[in-house]
Structure 1
Amino acid sequence: MEVRLQSRSSAVIGLSELGERVTRLAAGERLTITGIGVDEIRQALTTSQAERPALILPTGRSTEVILRQLIDDLAELALGCWPRWYGQDCVKPDGLPVLPTGRSDVSAPWFRAASKRAAAGYAPVFRRIARSIAFTQLMRAIGPHDPILVALIDPVDAARAAPLIQVLEWCAGQGASVVALFPSRPAAVPPFERLLYGAIAVVATAEPLLTRFIAPTGQAHHASLIEQRVAAALQQDGELGPLFACNQTVALGGYGNPRVDLLWRDGRIVVELDGPEHQADPNFANDRHRDYELLVAGHLVLRITNQQVSTDLQAAVEKIRMVVRFRQSTLNIQS
């Protein structure tokens, strides 16, 4: 997938660049992206091989419910990281907790209480301390880099979106890097308008026609005139017509189920009709690899170029006939 950042540039960029843009967010910085959801942002961060973690915010009917669940989530993550907090080991050789070095932003009282609970196997959650302290200390403990907080916000239902937007703004106010995702651009009305300034609109590039068209089983691809010509010639041939079907899938076990141009299933013969786009990599290399997969699965592969069909269709048919007769002789198949 590729995306276009409409608000800043007309250039098409990949998901890895989008992921890098997100991971470069500074403390307290907020980014709004419209046109994608959680799956796309996850793919973007994965593709960019970001070292910085991200957390999808929980949803809820109120700000209080969401914040409570967020603190619980961060505490569970911190428990899973213990004893490696802040990107360093926080226990002495004798097993006792030790404050991280070079971290003036770590609360010593919180660390002592939290490390004691984590060492005992409990999530470091303390309901009586200020929520802002719990939030910032847990965010820092999870790793050397604070996680990016990502919220998927309903672009239509303002009442449903409002609590999540408030939580996102609160987190940014505590110094977190936050990302607001809208599957589609919402109207510039409360509470959405607060997030829309400087928003990035992401537009997925359209897939090529041939990848969006699903050909009927057993028929030549509507967009391939060459396949139609060869299929028609084979159908008119008394010997070859009953054998071949067009656009068939071939089960190759662990190699998948590729679709081939022409297939004689019983005789395990595959005929591929190659246009000029198959003469260079990556198509050329991909074709050779698929030929290998078909070969080890017991299929003979005959490749005929579109130019050969256009120049002498009957010669192409005769090539297919000779391969069929060779196969029949080796497998003792009667025509």
Structure 2
Amino acid sequence: MAIADEPVPHRQGTSSLPTLSPAELRGRILRLEAGERLVVAGIGSEGLGRILAASDEAVCSRLVLANDGLRTTEAVLDRLLDDLAAVALARWPCWHGREGGVGSRSHGPWLKAAAKHAAAGRRPRFRRAAKSLEFAQLLLAIDPAGLVLVADVDPASPVRAAPAVEALEWCARHGAAVVALFSAVPPHVPPYDRVLYGAHEVLRDPAPVEVRFIDPRSRAHHASAVERRVEAALASDPELGPLFSCNARVPLGPSRTAPRVDLLWREGRVVVELDGPEHRRDPTFSADRHRDYELLVAGYLVLRITNEQAETDLQRAVEKIRDVVRLRRPMGVTIR
């Protein structure tokens, strides 16, 4: 008996909140102006970063607030100002307002003192100054077109969420565009009730089946004890475990091969190779260098660790991998 195709139902959100597609969410963020806010459920800062990066459009600068473990609004704001000062130092001397042109909104005394700090390699942070003054001037120095502040807010703990919510409200009052992100729709109780008015839920297509399928078997080469040890060490690490797959192919394009690598973080484009003694001699050594070149021009960062290093100090090998991951995905401050 033939079975007719069933009509695909219209996707609904998991709550009564109005919904946004990823493209609509990206457009809303690009149109945010100073002092405006956007509240979105069903997504975190990493997911938002992928949505923004998937577009060829010019995106605004954004900073992800590092608010984990901070129990007061004061602590969140102090961390934010520290992060803004670190970004300003990294961008020195390319600051808006240094020329002091007509119509500059820069505060002269702050700009002079901040420039002196930055020129000496110190962050332009002045804890005795009013937070509102520091905040406004750091935003202006970093990006006069406007900086979007993004915060992941805990949807399940009002106590942990309150400092982030209050900090975002403070930032919006002092001229920043802010985005509050909830991994799930929070209950309509304080402090969530203050931000849920006008909130949206983001709708996304399900991840491809190859991403959702979890193979319980080891993918390390059966003949490599080192690969199995490193794979097991990464699997037990909360930060690195979800990222790497073992013995994976990397497609480099239609005109090139798809080499098989020992460890791959596909999303971050990081390759880790575990090299035995044979990799020190030609022709293997020369072939490795050429493959590193092909991976490099395809956008992959390659870390090579010798078998001896992994055998004698496995934890050090894992920490090297962690350093490379954090180079690709900085912790705390994210700005594009």
The two structures have a TM-score, normalised by structure 1, of 0.57
Listed as ranges, the matches of 1:32-111 within 5 Å are 32-48=39-55, 49-59=57-67, 60-86=70-96, 90=98, 98-99=99-100, 101-111=101-111
Shift of 1:108: 1.0
Shift of 1:143: 2.0
Q: How far does the alpha carbon of each residue in 1:292-329 deviate from its partner, in whole angstroms, 9 at most, with x for none?
A: xxxxxxxxxxxxxxxxxxxxxxxxxxxxxxxxxxxxxx
Give, as a single letter, the amino acid of the residue that structure 2 aligns with 1:79. Answer: L
Question: Residue in 1 aligned with 2:198?
Answer: 198
Question: Residue in 2 aligned with 1:152?
Answer: 152
The two structures have a TM-score, normalised by structure 2, of 0.56
Question: Residue in 1 aligned with 2:115?
Answer: 115
Q: 1:129 and 1:197 mapped to 2: Cα distance?
A: 33
183 and 146 in structure 1: CA distance in 2 versus 1, 3 angstrom threshold: same
Give, as a single letter, the amino acid of the residue that structure 1 aligns with 2:160. Answer: R
207 and 57 in structure 1: CA distance in 2 versus 1, 3 angstrom threshold: closer
Q: 2:211 and 2:73 mapped to 1: Cα distance?
A: 44
Q: 1:105 and 1:40 mapped to 2: Cα distance?
A: 34
Report the secondary structure of 1:178's partner residue. Answer: strand
Q: 1:250 and 1:132 mapped to 2: Cα distance?
A: 50
On the 8 A contact 1:5/1:202 being kept in 2, the answer is no
Query: Unaligned stretches of 5+ in structure 1?
Result: 91-97, 218-248, 258-335
107 and 203 in structure 1: CA distance in 2 versus 1, 3 angstrom threshold: same
82 and 157 in structure 1: CA distance in 2 versus 1, 3 angstrom threshold: same
108 and 202 in structure 1: CA distance in 2 versus 1, 3 angstrom threshold: same
Listed as ranges, the matches of 1:1-335 within 5 Å are 7-8=17-18, 13=21, 15-48=22-55, 49-59=57-67, 60-86=70-96, 90=98, 98-99=99-100, 101-207=101-207, 254-256=257-259
Higher normalized contact order (CA 8 Å, seq sep 6+, divided by chain length): 2
Report the secondary structure of 1:148's partner residue. Answer: strand
Shift of 1:19: 2.1
39 and 107 in structure 1: CA distance in 2 versus 1, 3 angstrom threshold: same
Q: 2:216 and 2:189 mapped to 1: Cα distance?
A: 47
84 and 186 in structure 1: CA distance in 2 versus 1, 3 angstrom threshold: same
Query: Aligned-residue CA RMSD in angstroms?
Result: 3.0
On the 8 A contact 2:33/2:146 being kept in 1, the answer is no
Q: 1:252 and 1:110 mapped to 2: Cα distance?
A: 50
Question: Residue in 2 aligned with 1:272?
Answer: none
Give, as a single letter, the amino acid of the residue that structure 2 aligns with 1:53. Answer: S
On the 8 A contact 2:156/2:186 being kept in 1, the answer is yes
Q: 1:64 and 1:215 mapped to 2: Cα distance?
A: 45
Identity %: 43
Shift of 1:182: 0.2
Q: 2:155 and 2:84 mapped to 1: Cα distance?
A: 26
159 and 250 in structure 1: CA distance in 2 versus 1, 3 angstrom threshold: closer
Shift of 1:23: 2.1
Shift of 1:39: 1.1
On the 8 A contact 1:23/1:148 being kept in 2, the answer is no
Q: How far does the alpha carbon of each residue in 1:161-215 deviate from its partner, in whole angstroms, 9 at most, with x for none?
A: 0011110000000010000000000000000011111111112223566875679
Shift of 1:46: 1.7
82 and 199 in structure 1: CA distance in 2 versus 1, 3 angstrom threshold: same
On the 8 A contact 1:5/1:201 being kept in 2, the answer is no
Pair member with larger Rg: 1
On the 8 A contact 1:19/1:50 being kept in 2, the answer is no
178 and 206 in structure 1: CA distance in 2 versus 1, 3 angstrom threshold: same
Give, as a single letter, the amino acid of the residue that structure 1 aligns with 2:41. Answer: T
Aligned residues: 211
